[in-house]
């Protein structure tokens, strides 16, 4: 690191115009940023890359291919560091700044891969900021790039494409574009039906997450039949992954709870019961120590209690509701506020069960 700093100091003492020394200083700063990031010194790495960028920009009007490459790489370096320590808006700003320079280099080396990764990061932050339209526009570009790669690609690449199609389906559903969402999901299902899932289990996990989210969005929009189809598809994928990656058992429990709840709200509580019981068991086995997991577990208990009530097994449902309410009420206040809908549903069912129990006693 001292050698980088020494090089920068030496160049800055050169008595020439800034344009003559901007190039080597920018290169050294970019290299220093990469090294600092590798050492986990993210804030220093980000500062070095940000210091380099005005120097690179100064050289661009008269710069050659190498300078354009450096511009793309340094902007990508700023993004990588921002992802670790920045806000969602800062990530979006850094990502959008990097996209166009990366597009200009897309035929060089692995820049197409870098562009896809940049789009994924930026689209993810746009989604979190509620900018689904902008995220969808970017994600469509990533899908187009992946389609080109898939033509002569492997199952690994095809599963990546399926994963991106799943994300597109979610974004369409967020925008109430349900026919487009289902079309993307159908294309995704057609792809995975002829692939070896072991070729890219990471993409399969992400795809299961997207299908879970798609099912939730469809269910909330009263498209329960469609929701059941895609929740079930996601569960099949998750079961496949869980067979070799037991750490996915908790996520499988979450997926099963969503499926069971959709069955309950579709008037199929008897069908829901087995899925709800499995969801509770899996979440218990996986551990519910964190606040987030406790909220999810309370929701699973509520689903199971709802199915039991519908099956006229009220005495079994009551202790589950009591446990769910106590679990959420014991959480920090800010978590309770964020989980108000879960707590309210549990309390309403508990009040109903207590009223039933009182009537029976009378």
pLDDT per position as a tens digit, 129-160:
999 999 999 999 999 999 888 776 788 888 99
pLDDT of residue 23 exceeding 60: yes
**330-335, Cβ contacts within 8 angstroms, sequence gap of 24 or more:** 331/291, 331/294, 331/295, 332/291, 335/291, 335/295
Structural tokens at position 70: 């450096």
Quick one: fold of 245-356? 1.25.40
Q: Left (φ > 0), alpha (ψ -120 to 50) or beta: where does 290 sit?
A: beta
Please say whether the beta carbons of 178 and 221 come within 8 A: yes
Q: Is the predicted pLDDT of residue 19 greater than 50, yes or no? A: no
Average of pLDDT values for 306-321? 94
Instruction: Return the percentage of the chain with pLDDT > 90, whole number.
Output: 74
Which region among 10-24, 164-178, 313-327 has the lowest average model confidence (pLDDT)? 10-24
What token pair was written down for 23?
């190039």
Average pLDDT score over residue span 28-52: 93
Phi, psi of 228 (to 5 degrees): -65, -40
Asked if 296 and 337 touch (Cβ cutoff 8 Å), the reply is no
Tell me: the pLDDT tens digits for 205-258? 999 999 999 999 999 999 999 999 999 999 999 999 999 899 999 999 999 999
- The upper half-sphere exposure of residue 117, i.e. CA atoms within 13 Å in the direction of its Cβ, equals 10
The pLDDT value given to residue 62: 67
Q: Which of 273, 268, 264 is nearest to 316 (CA)?
A: 273
The set of long-range contacts for 308-315, using a CB threshold of 8 Å and a minimum separation of 24, is 308/273, 309/349, 309/352, 309/353, 310/264, 310/269, 310/270, 311/269, 311/270, 311/273, 314/353, 314/356, 314/357
Binned at pLDDT 50, 70 and 90, residue 360 comes out as low
| pLDDT the model gives residue 16 | 40
DSSP 223-238: -HHHHHHHHHHHHHHH
- The residues near 142 (Cβ < 8 Å, ≥ 6 apart) are 115, 116, 119, 120, 123, 164
- What digits encode the pLDDT tens for the residues 257-276? 999 999 999 999 999 999 99
For the entire predicted model, the pTM comes to 0.86
The set of residues, in sequence order, having a beta carbon less than 8 Å from that of 120 and lying 6+ positions away, is: 139, 142
* Domain locations along the chain: 153-241, 245-356
Kindly indicate the confidence band of residue 356, based on its pLDDT and cuts at 50, 70 and 90: low
The pLDDT of residue 13 is 43
Q: Answer for the pair 301, 343: CB distance below 8 angstroms, yes or no.
A: no
CA atoms within 13 A on the CB side of 216: 14
How confident is the model at residue 33, as a pLDDT?
93
Judge whether 53 and 74 are in contact, CB under 8 Å.
yes
Q: Band the pLDDT of 55: cuts 50, 70, 90.
A: confident
What confidence score (pLDDT) does residue 57 get? 87
pLDDT at residue 21, rounded to an integer: 41
CB atoms within 10 A of CB 9: 10
- Whether 295 contacts 331, CB under 8 Å: yes
pLDDT tens per residue, range 57-96:
887 876 678 888 889 999 999 999 999 999 999 999 999 9
Compute the mean pLDDT over every residue in the chain, rounded to the nearest whole number.
89
Nearest to 23 by CA among 73, 57, 72: 57
pLDDT of residue 157: 87
In the predicted model, is pLDDT for residue 339 greater than 90?
yes
Q: Model confidence at 2, in pLDDT bands (50, 70, 90)?
A: very low
Residue 323 has pLDDT above 50, yes or no: yes
């Amino acid at each position: 690191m001292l050698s980088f700093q020494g090089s920068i100091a030496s160049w800055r003492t050169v008595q020439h115009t800034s344009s003559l020394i901007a190039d080597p200083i920018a290169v050294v700063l970019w290299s220093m940023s990469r090294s600092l990031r590798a050492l986990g010194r993210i804030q220093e790495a980000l500062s070095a890359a940000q210091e380099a960028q005005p120097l690179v920009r100064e050289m661009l009007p008269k710069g050659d291919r190498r300078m354009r490459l450096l511009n793309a790489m340094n902007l990508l370096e700023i993004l990588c560091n921002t992802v670790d320590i920045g806000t969602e808006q800062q990530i979006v700003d850094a990502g959008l700044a990097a996209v166009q320079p990366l597009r200009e280099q897309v035929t060089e080396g692995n820049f197409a891969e870098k562009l896809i990764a940049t789009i994924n990061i930026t689209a993810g932050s746009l989604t979190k900021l509620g900018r689904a339209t902008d995220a969808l526009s970017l994600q469509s570009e990533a899908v187009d790039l992946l389609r080109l790669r898939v033509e002569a690609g492997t199952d690994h690449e095809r599963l990546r494409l399926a994963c991106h199609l799943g994300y597109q389906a979610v974004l369409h559903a967020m925008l109430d574009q349900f026919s487009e969402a289902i079309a993307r999901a159908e294309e995704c299902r057609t792809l995975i039906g002829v692939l070896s899932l072991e070729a890219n289990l990471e993409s399969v996990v992400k795809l299961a997450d997207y299908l879970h989210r798609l099912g939730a969005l469809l269910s909330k929009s009263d498209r329960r039949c469609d929701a059941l189809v895609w929740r079930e598809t996601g569960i099949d994928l998750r079961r496949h992954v869980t067979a070799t990656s037991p750490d996915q058992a908790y996520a499988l429990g979450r997926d099963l709870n969503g499926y069971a709840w959709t069955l309950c709200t579709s008037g199929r509580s008897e069908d829901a019961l087995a899925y709800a019981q499995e969801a509770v068991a899996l979440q218990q086995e996986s551990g519910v120590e964190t606040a987030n997991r406790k909220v999810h577990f309370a929701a699973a208990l509520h689903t199971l209690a709802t199915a039991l009530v519908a099956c006229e097994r009220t005495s079994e449902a009551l202790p589950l509701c009591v446990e769910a309410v106590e679990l959420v009420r014991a959480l920090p206040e800010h978590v309770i506020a964020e989980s108000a809908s879960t707590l309210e549903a549990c309390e309403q069912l508990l009040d109903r069960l207590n009223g039933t129990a009182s009537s029976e006693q009378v």
